[in-house]
Structure 1
Amino acid sequence: MSPSKKHGFHISRYSREKYAVSENLFSKEGHLLVADYPAIVKLASQINEQRDLHKYPEARVSAAELYALGLIHEIFHYIIEVYQDQIDKDLFTQLRDELTRHFDQTHILQLEEYFKKDYSTGSDDRDVTIEPEGPELLEEIVLLWITNQNPAIRNYKELLDDTALTIETPYQQVIKRLYLELDRFPSVEDSSLNLIDFLLIPAHEAPESLLSQLNFMVTRWRKLLGPYAELLMRSIDYLREEHRPVFPPGPGPSREADYRYLEQEYEAFSRDTHWMPEVVLIAKSTLVWMDQLSRQYGRSIHRIDLIPDEELDLLAERGFNALWLIGLWERSVASKTIKRSCGNPEAEASAYSLKRYDIAEELGGWEALQQLKLRCAQRGIRLASDIVPNHTGIDGDWVFDHPDWFLQLPEPPYPSYSYQSQNLSPRPDIGVYLEDHYYDRTDAALTFKWTRFQTGETRYIYHGNDGTSMPWNDTAQLDFLNPQMREALIQTILHVARNFPIIRFDAAMTLARKHIHRLWYPAPGSGGDIPSRSRYGMSQNEFYRLMPKEFWREVVDRVAAEAPGTLLLAEAFWMMEGFFVRTLGMHRVYNSAFMNMLKNEENEKYKNTVKNTISFDPEILKRFVNFMNNPDEETAVAQFGDGDKYFGVCTMMVTMPGLPMFGHGQIEGFREKYGMEYRKAYWNESPNQALIEGHYHRVFPLMKRRYLFADSENFRLFDLHQDNGGINHNVFVYSNRVAGRASLVAYNNAYPSAAGRVWYSSPFAVKAPDGNKHVENTS
């Protein structure tokens, strides 16, 4: 038997009538067609509409569990068929013959007729109703009994209830007789169990969970599953989608860097232009900064060309040579509408929900940018900008001009979705509708509705989503299996690169090939991160055929050839930092471990991260972006305070190899976290003058000597050995050397005092001209 020969499972006539289940969901034999997963989703929705879920929320039916029940039923049929092939093809014929010798023939017929009446379709509008007969019918009766012994089906008992069979027929007596008869036949596989006991194992092993039963089957019965192995993995994915945990945004828990996986990857670092190693970057939320400057200078500063020279002079005087302006691009009007409809009357659109990559007209457009760039260049400051590559705004130009470039479905992924809310489209010919339940915050739908009024053409386009939290409801997810879209996005990146010497790629890790595959087209057994996408999964071979190259490697190579001298900076988490710089070729990559581990004083973990990095390849350390906060995190003063701990970690940030990045308001000690939709600061904060002075005395002088610290070739890390023979992991001691000048930094990232000696450095890798490397240490 192959998956093309579907048994499905029977639902009682009572339940079919109660829930008005369409007979089209059933085969002519009366089995529920579990292969049609969208139909199962609709069935679950129909059942839930009839149940009082407000009073009994635990009665909610899961489409994934319904599918799992049907698939388990099919797998049991398959195991029975294989068992019969090994033992006796006429097993159930023999069993039925035995029953007729122990029971009156009329009683057996009574059972069979009752089963057919209660569990077959018997629908008048079907061409032919094929009733199972004799041995085949007996097999179905046995499996109905086995299913009813499973405690995990309690929420589905009504659909499969065998109580009437027990009352009206000799059903239970027949099962007992069959059990005794099966003891005469060989046990199943390597067990000592008869067929019925063997099929009861998953329910005995995991009585409370269908997901656990499937996991048991895939690990313990894999060789028995035959053609059903992949379907079973997919069923597990469906269950994971419904039970997936939701994590807060950001990089997640920090782990020590481990580069063993990179041994199998090729090395292809991008060459730095001469200015890149010494970049010191400060981020500014553009709209908030201009509002703050307007109040500070007592005049309207609403365009970027109006940013005062004094502010640019101040940045240069302090040692900053790169300015990242967040929110320069033309933003989505729909994003602003959504946010204001949801309760924030002053909200701007998100800086990461974009209409197009043009400098916003309200900021002065391209002309204002050119004027600001010129004034910054006169002070040695380069401008940085964002690209948000995985999605556009829900009303971005591409949504209307190239709707095929987005991930979409012809129908909503779930039948409970409705789209009767306000039209968010600026175009008279096309409507864009957010799913209704976003507005009352009772659901966070995966898709929005796109419709062309003249033709009625309708699409359901996915929102941007990284699988860790809720979908971003003001965005539209691009489809990276579309080669035309990929090329258009590369052209957009080149357009930005010709105007900005530094580009930061937001959430870059989501576009690594393996994560596009995992999130949007998951292979069987790897789904569950984005609900509904397991239905559209692909094998790795199929996916790699459609996306033969890493998108980021293609971007890096094209920028190097067509816009050389652009520093490419990736916001990447998920333990992919080394891969992004060493293999994909990004010049710099976020190092969230710096902030998270030092904040939490996980000092040994961070020291091990540095040790692991330099013993594998010190070049990776040089390419880290170290920061004490970023726009998605709490402010630096909230995380590190404004005393010695702050200045100690800040000193490390500006004296370690890599790129130091300061947050908006970090130097002033501002505590407010500025949302991406903010037009202004809401807290009335004054700059912390003591903190600012501390920077002038302890931090800015080091920033102006970045050439001493920026490279990693001569970076050495030391352990502090205490008199008792132990190592104090709270103390960071490291040295560097360039052009005959040396530096030594020592910092204790803990309140208890420390004393000891440093001897030999931690091991570091040294590369030979032929590419081979060995590990050394020095005293």
Structure 2
Amino acid sequence: MARVGQGLSLYEVSSRAWMYELGVTSLDDVPDAELDKLQEQKMHMIWLQGAFKLGSVGLALDREEKSRMEGYKKALPDFTPDDIIGSPYAIVEYVVSDELGGNAAMARFRERCAKRGLKLMLDFVPNHMAVDCAWADDPACRDFFIRKPDNPADCNPDEFLPDGRAHGKDPYTGAWPDTAQLNYFNPALREAQVDNLLRVASICDVMRLDMAMLLLNKVHEQTWGRELRATGWSAPPTEFWEDAIKRVRAKYPDTIFMAEVYWGLDTELVGLGFDLTYDKYLYDHLASGHMDNLRGYMSSRSLDFLRHSAHFVENHDEPRAVSEFCGPMRANAAAAISFLLPGCRLIFHDQWHACSARLDVHLRRRSEYESDAGTLRYYTVLNKVLAEPAFTEPDAGYHWTWPEPPDESDYDTWRLVAWRMTHEDDRFLVVVNYTDAAACARFKLPDAPSASPAGEYTVHEYMAGKDYPRDAGELREHGLHCVMKPWGVQIFKY
């Protein structure tokens, strides 16, 4: 049985843009055929990004600020004011937006997903709320927010609202002007946020926690320590996430928690109860293309770390994979490395069509694009492989290892990354040529079984859909000979 959330494939859609494309105004009207497609592509979860109620202040800001207009023009040259829908990360309250049909429509959508074996993921944005959120004008909630000190000589005025509340931010970037920063050193705020987490957990199966590391006591102190000390707040003795996750699971024990996390804080969040964390380091190594660094990173990560990782080659924060990786061939090879490792696979809105048109989260549509038939076929095969028990049940009878290094004196082995996976009686070898030139190598398979007196049996390669008769003793002693095209992927079952 797989650990919670691990070995599963997750499909992210920008919910309002998805509904606009489908021409529907409620989740009730999303055609069953759209969910059937996800079932056919072997998805296990759907992430409706941007599902909760937003305010008018952030929308007005998005439609008026000149610097944002330039970004919209790059993403959608013919955009109109009606295309600007506001940031899904400036939430007013955790009620499903009327644009999706409200909480009742979400409940019915969740039931439709469950019938197809799909879990439903929703966002939770813990660090901040919209400036016009439900708590903004409530005197009882005044101290839910970081506030400007009485002697603000050293404070940046751009980081505060006229009423003294701070805008949300992280330690390294400027303030987010459509948000108000929450005070996690305030026990009352923590209690209110647990209530919000319980509210969200009641309507979904999986939660994606935005910028989850910002709530760690040390990060909150790093970001807002001066303001917190000046207004009389100090760090609580416990971490918010450890307490909150335990309380949510006491009521909803099957809830899966996935953290967006950076700065090497992923392992710490897993220790506090998260099932999955973003593996941004793998993405960065794939984007840079430095093979020694890529292999070094992959080989340095433990099986347990990989199992708790969410791997991706694009999402709503990153460029489209075909743009970042300079074409579909390299993008597809990067996806194979990411998704065939232990962990969770995160696939973004129309990624399997090799979509190059960026989908800005503030917009309801993107530029027109043509689907790449070759990439769609590639993902159809890859997703079928990922549905194999070896890739979906990484616990009982499971083993993951690097093969014995091939002889570097004979082959361009530096171009290749490879690993073996076994699950009970199933054995796989994954080989990826992550360079722009052909390469070949032999990989020894010490666990190749003797299937017949002659020692011969069939090795199946999934991506080409071919069977190869091979001698088990030869595979164990000398290895499987792999001839790889540039950006080539081979997945052997032996």
Give me the TM-score of the superposition, normalised by structure 2: 0.81
Between 1:742-751 and 1:642-651, the stretch displaced more is 642-651
Q: 2:267 matched to which residue of 1?
A: 578
Q: Distance in 2 between matches of 1:606 and 1:509?
A: 25
Aligned counterpart, 1:289: 18
Shift of 1:678: 1.1
Matching residue within 142, 147, 153 for 1:408:
147
C-alpha distance in 1 between matches for 2:155 and 2:143 = 25
SS of 1:503's partner is: strand
Q: Deviations over 1:116-160 (max 9, x none)?
A: xxxxxxxxxxxxxxxxxxxxxxxxxxxxxxxxxxxxxxxxxxxxx
Select which of 223, 228, 239 maps to 1:550: 239
Instruction: Name the structure 2 match of 1:717.
Output: 402
Distance 1:702 1:551 in 2: 39
Match of 1:644 in 2: 329
Where 1:324 maps in the other structure, the secondary structure is strand
Distance 1:708-1:409 versus aligned 2 partners, 3 A rule: closer
> CA-to-partner distance for each residue in 1:676-714, whole Å, 9 max, x for gaps?
211222x12232233212322x31221322543652751
Residue in structure 1 matched with residue 73 of structure 2 by the alignment: none
Aligned CA distance change for structure 1 residues 586 and 547 (closer, same or farther; 3 Å): same
Instruction: Verify the 8 A CA contact 2:322 2:328 in the aligned structure 1.
Output: no
Match of 2:272, SS state, is coil
Cα distance, 1:595 vs structure 2: 1.6
Mind listing any 5+ residue stretches in structure 2 that lack a counterpart?
Answer: 70-80, 447-475, 478-494
Deviation at 1:502, TM superposition (A): 0.5
Report the 3-state secondary structure (helix = DSSP H, G, I; strand = E; otherwise coil) of the residue aligned with 2:371.
coil
Distance 1:557 1:535, change over 3 A: closer
Partner of 1:634: 319
Aligned-partner Cα distance in 1 for 2:35–2:136: 38
Which residue identity is paired with 1:471? A
* Amino acid in the other structure paired with 1:321: H
**1:559 CA drift (Å):** 2.0
- Shift in Å at residue 613 of structure 1? 2.0
> 1:586-626: per-residue Cα shift (whole Å, max 9, x none)?
00000012221112212322322232222xxx212111000
1:607 and 2:292 correspond: no
- What SS does the corresponding residue of 1:667 show, helix, strand or coil? helix
Partner Cα separation in structure 1 for residue 333 and residue 180 of structure 2: 42
- The answer to whether the 8 A contact 1:589-1:623 is kept is yes
Q: How many residues align?
A: 430
Partner of 1:43: none
* Cα distance, 1:321 vs structure 2: 1.5
2:162 to 422, 445, 449: 449
**Structure 2 match to 1:483:** 187
CA deviation map 1:301-322 (0-9, x unaligned): 0211211111100110011111
Q: 1:590 to 1:274 in 2, by over 3 A?
A: closer
User: In the aligned structure 2, how far is the partner of 1:554 from the partner of 1:466?
Assistant: 22
Cα contact 2:169–2:175 (8 A) shared by 1: yes
SS where residue 165 of structure 2 aligns?
A: strand
Q: Tell me the residue number matched to 2:437.
A: 752
Residues 1:348 and 2:77 aligned together: no
Which residue of structure 1 lines up, in the alignment, with residue 124 of structure 2?
387
Higher helix share: 1
Against the structure 1 CA distance between its residues 737 and 519, is the aligned structure 2 distance closer, same or farther, given a 3 Å change threshold?
A: same
- Cα gap change, 1:415/1:341 in structure 2, threshold over 3 Å: closer, same or farther? farther
For residue 375 of structure 1, what is the amino acid of its counterpart?
A: R
Please give the residue correspondences for 1:32-43 in structure 2 after superposition, counting only pairs within 5 Å.
none
TM-aligned CA deviation for residue 650 of structure 1: 1.8
Contact 2:167–2:175, Cα closer than 8 Å, also in 1: yes
Q: Report how far residue 673 of structure 1 moved.
A: 2.0
Counterparts in 2 of 1:5-20, with a 5 A limit?
A: none
Report if aligned partners of 2:85, 2:362 keep a CA contact under 8 Å in 1.
Answer: yes
Match of residue 419, structure 2, among 734, 755, 768: 734
Which amino acid is the alignment partner of residue 498 of structure 1? S
SS in structure 2 opposite 1:448? coil
Please list, as runs of the form range in 1=range in 2, the aligned pairs for 1:31-70 lying within 5 A after superposition: none
Does the 8 Å CA contact 1:447/1:461 hold for their aligned counterparts? Answer: yes
Percent of aligned positions with the same letter in both sequences?
24
Name the structure 1 match of 2:46: 323
Deviations 1:396-420 (A, max 9, x none): 1112221221000255845998xxx
Distance 1:659 1:415 in 2: 44
Whichever residue aligns with residue 110 of structure 2, its letter is K
What does 1:671-710 align with in structure 2 at a 5 Å threshold? 671-681=356-366, 683-696=367-380, 698-705=381-388, 707-708=390-391
The structure whose Rg is larger is 1
Q: C-alpha distance in 2, partners of 1:412/1:461?
A: 14
The Cα of 1:731 is off from its aligned counterpart by 1.4
Structure 2 residue matching 1:276: 3-state secondary structure: coil
Residues 429-578 of structure 1 aligned to structure 2 (within 5 Å): 445-450=158-163, 460-521=164-225, 533=227, 536=230, 543=234, 546-578=235-267
Question: Residues 304 and 758 from structure 1, CA distance in 2 versus in 1: closer, same or farther, beyond 3 angstroms?
Answer: same
2:133 alignment counterpart: 396
Q: What's the CA shift for 1:758?
A: 4.0
Q: Deviations over 1:486-529 (max 9, x none)?
A: 0110111111112111000000111112111111116xxxxxxx
Determine helix, strand or coil for the equivalent of 1:626.
strand
RMSD: 2.7
Instruction: Give the Å deviation of 1:278.
Output: 3.3
C-alpha deviations, 1:467-501, integer Å up to 9, x for none? 22221000000001100000110111111112111
* Residues 736, 415 of structure 1: alpha-carbon distance in 2 compared, 3 angstrom cutoff: closer
Q: d(CA) in 1 for partners of 2:152 and 2:320?
A: 38
2:55–2:133: 8 Å Cα contact kept in structure 1? yes
Aligned equivalents of 2:151, 2:355: Cα separation in 1: 44
Quick check: 2:42–2:387 contact (8 Å CA) kept in 1?
yes
From the superposition, tell whether residues 273 and 733 of structure 1 become closer, same or farther in structure 2 (CA, over 3 Å).
closer
369, 388, 391: which is aligned to 2:106? 369
1:332 and 1:350 in contact (8 A); partners too: no
Corresponding residue of 2:58: 335
Q: Is contact 1:658-1:710 (8 Å) kept?
A: no
Q: List runs of 5+ in structure 1 lacking aligned partners.
A: 1-271, 295-300, 418-434, 436-444, 451-459, 523-532, 762-777
Q: Distance in 1 between matches of 2:315 and 2:151?
A: 36
8 Å CA contact 1:718, 1:732 repeated in 2: no
